[in-house]
Structure 1
Amino acid sequence: MRVAFVGKGGSGKTTLSSLFARYAARRGRVVAVDADINQHLGLALGARESPRPLGGMLTEIKDYLRGGNPRIRDAASMVKTTPPGSGSRLIDMADPFFPSCPVDGVSLMVTGPFSEGDLGVACYHSKVGAVELYLNHLVDGPGEYVVVDMTAGADSFASGLFTRFDLTFLVAEPTRQGVGVYRQYRGYAADFGVRVAVVGNKIQSPGDVDYLRAEVGDDLVTWLEHSPAVRAMEQGRPFTLDDLEPAGHDALATMLGLVDAQPKDWERFGRQAAEFHRRNALAWANRATGEDLLTQIDPGFVYGPAVPAP
């Protein structure tokens, strides 16, 4: 299952991403991806090192994933939305090509920060495109979780990446600003069938829960109260998931249960991959590459695990 964490800057989505990744790792294989412009997920997980950034190896990723797909001429004609087709290299979560480092039972991957050459000339979406390509070619199965810490606010809608998930957790503080980001995100996501579940954070009283419930309704699935253990973790003191208070474990269990209950809709995933590639091709990619990238869409390609022959 693919899980995104979004929310207002400072809402605690990176902290929640790290806690959920640790918790899910007790159930199955977890890849956690830091796709935020502020690269703090490794810090929250307690990583002592950082893997090679995906955002710095886009050409290599494209060459690897296009495999022998005859619809893709070369890496230069492959863009972030190029969908897989016959001959493409499909990957699983154990694929060794994608750099990661182990930390607390989780495999951490990062898009990487801005480099000196990026400053003033590039936007961060070029790096996040590596995650979109990764998810478009990934075949994940039961007991496998990809947890992505996304950019803050509604910036995720600058690409089709927001449709690449089975469930999106929106981390919301009990404030007008937190609820405002929820309304904006939910409004954009509604037309694409993206399931958004709200996790309240920095809850200090029952009144905070009542406020969120009144504002977001049934989309509020759980919440986390102030946690001395989490504050210690954020201050750099030693932390394991066993240090988390029981209420925090209950919230994470609710979240994981909700993820596991989501149906895997490969048909929608493939349809939207083609839709967003078509949009990008007509908006800019055809002009940028000098090619008709609509021909990269393979109408006969079927997403998901291969079905054994009878």
Structure 2
Amino acid sequence: MKIAFVGKGGSGKTTLSSLFIRHLAAARVPVTAVDADINQHLGPALGLDEETAAALPALGAHLPEIKEYLRGANPRISSAETMIKTTPPGQGSRLLRLSEDNPVYAACARTVHLGEPSGAEDGAGAGRSAREGDVRLMVTGPFNESDLGVACYHSKVGAVELCLNHLVDGRDEYLVVDMTAGSDSFASGMFTRFDMTFLVAEPTRKGVAVYRQYKEYARDFGVNLAVVGNKVQGADDLAFLRAETGDDLLVTVGQSDWVRAMEKGRSPRFTLLEEANRRALRTMHERADAAYERRDWRRYTRDMVHFHLKNAESWGNAKTGADLAAQVDPDFVLGQRQEVAAAAGTGS
């Protein structure tokens, strides 16, 4: 299951995604979390101290190794240098599973123990069956001073998109991605890679404006969208969100003393989270599980190829000096056959 959290900057997107991750971990669901926001706050929201969070390895810094690994023996890809963020898998490509150990996770993932003293371990030691409270965390890396004027942040999330293109995941394991804020999520085709997208909206005009924009952009791609109202303080806030988002409003979350304690650096037990907020998380989990029934691997692969061809034509061919359309394997559909093969460690 692939889940995205999106919303306006400051809406509480990272807070809600971290609560959902904690909920999954407490339910003993294997979960991998990815911080793909320009502001890297997911680690601290999961209880890491600032120093440990800042030391997490950036996916973007390992992009060459990620490309080489995923390329595998795919004959349509002449070299890792010709792979771009949208390159789709084909026969011979190496695929990723969430509940496995592989070189990508060893280099880029760290295990966070929730409900215990803050800390992280190397991704290679995460194991295939997470104990209660364990989360595998990956981060894109921050947009820092050396990037100013010379880099686009979306180049940093390219590693996330490439991994999503090569991911075969099942119903009982979760990937949760804290996406970049606002409509920036549409700067790549990554918004089509999820089974469920939770849009966090405050009961304000700006909050629902992002919802309208996101829904309009996603309309033609079958994005499964649900609104999570945040910072809802009373009946008027609830009525406003219902009027503006209609049936897309799934649940609302109010003020939380538990969250305030976490933001102050304390580590209260997750079982102490307010029952109303725990109930909202359970509803989100149920909606996400139900979304799996709508997964269409053919459409997923078709959207992947669509955005790859667009990127190849607009900039990829010129940058790599290769015809990237030739990377598309017309007979390849990501799905159950590759899922079984990946589990056996045989690539495609």
| TM-score bucket (shorter structure) | over 0.9
Matches within 5 A, 1:89-238: 89-93=94-98, 94-97=100-103, 98=105, 99-103=108-112, 104=114, 105-238=134-267
Whether contact under 8 Å (1:27, 1:143) holds in the other structure is no
Counterpart residue identity of residue 39, structure 1: Q
Counterpart residue identity of residue 40, structure 1: H
**Cα separation, 1, equivalents of 2:333 and 2:238:** 43
Residue 114 of structure 1 deviates from its aligned partner by 2.3
Match of 1:33 in 2: 34
Counterpart residue identity of residue 261, structure 2: A
**Cα separation, 2, equivalents of 1:164 and 1:102:** 24
- Which of 285, 299, 303 aligns to 2:330? It is 299
Match of 2:276 in 1: 247
**Cα separation, 1, equivalents of 2:48 and 2:69:** 27
Match of 1:15 in 2: 15
Residues 56-79 of structure 1: CA deviation (Å, up to 9, x unaligned)? 111111011001101111111000
**Cα separation, 2, equivalents of 1:111 and 1:41:** 11
- Pairing 1:3–2:9 present: no
**Cα separation, 2, equivalents of 1:141 and 1:244:** 28
Residue 290 of structure 1 deviates from its aligned partner by 1.2
TM-score with structure 2 length normalisation?
Answer: 0.86
Residue 161 of structure 1 deviates from its aligned partner by 0.6
**Cα separation, 2, equivalents of 1:235 and 1:277:** 43
Residue 120 of structure 1 deviates from its aligned partner by 1.6
Counterpart residue identity of residue 300, structure 2: F
Residue 115 of structure 1 deviates from its aligned partner by 4.2
Residues 194-218 of structure 1: CA deviation (Å, up to 9, x unaligned)? 1110000001001111110000000
Whether contact under 8 Å (1:232, 1:238) holds in the other structure is yes
Question: Equivalent pairs: percent with the same residue?
Answer: 62
**Cα separation, 1, equivalents of 2:41 and 2:325:** 37
Cα RMSD, aligned residues only: 1.4
Match of 2:308 in 1: 277
* SS of equivalent residue, structure 1 residue 60: helix
* SS of equivalent residue, structure 1 residue 140: coil
Residue 220 of structure 1 deviates from its aligned partner by 0.1
**After the TM superposition, which of the residue ranges 198-207 and 93-102 deviates more from structure 2?**
93-102
Counterpart residue identity of residue 101, structure 1: R
Higher fraction of helix: 2
**Cα separation, 2, equivalents of 1:24 and 1:231:** 21
Query: Which consecutive unaligned segments of at least 5 residues does structure 2 have?
Result: 115-133, 342-348
Match of 2:296 in 1: 265
Counterpart residue identity of residue 17, structure 2: S
Match of 2:118 in 1: none
* SS of equivalent residue, structure 1 residue 260: helix
Residue 116 of structure 1 deviates from its aligned partner by 4.3
**After the TM superposition, which of the residue ranges 250-259 and 108-117 deviates more from structure 2?**
108-117
Whether contact under 8 Å (1:69, 1:88) holds in the other structure is yes
**Cα separation, 2, equivalents of 1:206 and 1:102:** 40
* SS of equivalent residue, structure 1 residue 239: coil
Query: Which consecutive unaligned segments of at least 5 residues does structure 1 have?
Result: none
Counterpart residue identity of residue 59, structure 1: P
Residue 162 of structure 1 deviates from its aligned partner by 0.5
Residue 187 of structure 1 deviates from its aligned partner by 0.4
**Cα separation, 2, equivalents of 1:201 and 1:170:** 10
Residue 27 of structure 1 deviates from its aligned partner by 4.2
**Cα separation, 2, equivalents of 1:11 and 1:174:** 10
**After the TM superposition, which of the residue ranges 216-225 and 101-110 deviates more from structure 2?**
101-110
**After the TM superposition, which of the residue ranges 101-110 and 37-46 deviates more from structure 2?**
101-110
* SS of equivalent residue, structure 1 residue 117: helix
Number of aligned pairs? 309
Whether contact under 8 Å (1:21, 1:147) holds in the other structure is yes
Matches within 5 A, 1:49-64: 49-50=52-53, 51-64=56-69
Residues 162-221 of structure 1: CA deviation (Å, up to 9, x unaligned)? 001001000000000000000001100011111110000001001111110000000000
**Cα separation, 1, equivalents of 2:146 and 2:94:** 30
Residue 95 of structure 1 deviates from its aligned partner by 3.2
- Pairing 1:44–2:45 present: yes
**Cα separation, 2, equivalents of 1:266 and 1:28:** 23
Residue 142 of structure 1 deviates from its aligned partner by 2.1
